Amino acid sequence: MEYVTLSNQVVMPKLGFGVFQISKEICEECVLNAIQVGYRHIDTAQSYFNEEEVGQSISKCGIPREELFITTKVWIDNYGYEKTLSSVKKSLEKLKLDYLDLVLLHQPFGDYYGAYRALQDLYKEGKIRAIGVSNFSPDRLADIAGFNEIPPHVNQVEVNPLHQQVAAQENMIKRNVQIQAWAPFGEGKCNMFENPTLKEIGAKYQKSVAQVILRWLMQRNVVALAKSTHIERMKENIEIFDFELSNDEMKKISELDTNTSLFFNHQTPETVDYFLSIIEERKGKI
Ligand SMILES: NC(=O)c1ccc[n+]([C@@H]2O[C@H](COP(=O)([O-])OP(=O)(O)OC[C@H]3O[C@@H](n4cnc5c(N)ncnc54)[C@H](OP(=O)(O)O)[C@@H]3O)[C@@H](O)[C@H]2O)c1
């Protein structure tokens, strides 16, 4: 495993296991399998509806708490100072933890300022070792970093070979904010696992497209969160620390960038409307 050190000196494994879209029924087993094959960094969220199952795996896995790095994210409907404080306490209960390694604000909509002040206070209390945001565009990140006492330690955004976030990462580096990649495989969209450039590079090292993508992220100093429900793929995705891409290969991958999200652009009014509709859909369930 490789590690990054955040601006507050907290150390984070560079590859994490993501549990988005892993149902309650299989989540406990998936996380136990991921920990068994070597993952120590788990990424969940209030809106994934599986914090309790992640908590079950953590208590059963037999790995000392301090060797694990656990992240959750505050859902938009829990924003505002008081609601965020109580929702993080609820997340801690569901996860059966005394502290979280990282808590992120999931989306840049609604009262994220009130929510961020709550994260700062929980950080000062020692309930959270690092705080941050997710899906914050460069201007939103500059704003929240500039107008708060504790700038975010992390910004988790979509990063994959078709949406590389080069300018966003430069902005984060300038502000000492660690970038994390969600959907490193773009959830397989655009035939990602069959991409000819990535396949050709992988063939040279006898590595799969998934492994080439994760290796490329490691070499860009991007913390990657990969999800799989299959133990053999979990293993495959962590076997990326025994080869290195050349500068020429890194350049070839950089040429795949379309600078366009495979999911949604967080800066359009339609995206805000979409999130308003899912807040309604999830009301009372989180
Ligand atoms: N902050 C945010 O707004 C946000 C948004 C999305 C995701 N995330 C985080 O990022 C994590 C990863 O993103 P994601 O789950 O959306 O997508 P992803 O990791 O890009 O892709 C997951 C998909 O790839 C497949 N897969 C995984 N490894 C594979 C391999 N080696 N070969 C072939 N197929 C493989 C999985 O299939 P199987 O499961 O069937 O193996 C699944 O269909 C999430 O779990 C979550 O923690 C955060």
Cα(182) to centroid(ligand 1), Å: 8
In CATH, what number is assigned to the domain containing residue 114?
3.20.20.100
Q: Give the per-residue pLDDT at 285.
A: 86
Q: Give the per-residue pLDDT at 252.
A: 98
Q: For residue 45, give the ligand 1 atom closest to its CA.
A: 47
Q: Would the pLDDT of 70 be above 90?
A: yes
CA distance 74 to 58: 20
Instruction: Out of 39, 48, 116, 123, pick the active-site residue.
Output: 48
Position 265 confidence tier, pLDDT thresholds 50, 70, 90:
very high
Cα(148) to centroid(ligand 1), Å: 32
Q: Would the pLDDT of 56 be above 90?
A: yes
pLDDT digits (tens, 9 = 90+) for 201-233: 999 999 999 999 999 999 999 999 999 999 999
The DSSP string of 104-160 is EE--S-SSHHHHHHHHHHHHHHTSBS-EEEES--HHHHHHHHHTSSS--SEEEEE-B
48 as an active site residue: the answer is: yes
- Residues 32-58: what's their mean pLDDT? 98
Q: Give the per-residue pLDDT at 286.
A: 84
Dihedral sign, CA of 116, 121, 124, 129? negative
Lining residues, ligand 1, CB within 6 Å: 18-21, 43, 106, 134-135, 156, 182-188, 193, 208, 210, 225-230, 233, 236-237
Q: Give the per-residue pLDDT at 198.
A: 98
Average pLDDT, the chain: 97
Residues 157 and 180 sit within 8 Å (Cβ to Cβ): yes
pLDDT digits (tens, 9 = 90+) for 3-17: 999 999 999 999 999
Q: Which residue has the tokens 């040279």?
A: 204
Tally of structural domains, the chain: 1
Domain containing residue 193: 3-282
Residues 153 and 6 sit within 8 Å (Cβ to Cβ): yes
Nearest Cα residue to atom 37 of ligand 1:
228
pLDDT digits (tens, 9 = 90+) for 166-203: 999 999 999 999 999 999 999 999 999 999 999 999 99
Q: Would the pLDDT of 284 be above 90?
A: no
pLDDT digits (tens, 9 = 90+) for 87-135: 999 999 999 999 999 999 999 999 999 999 999 999 999 999 999 999 9
Nearest Cα residue to atom 48 of ligand 1:
182
Q: What is the DSSP letter of 61?
A: S
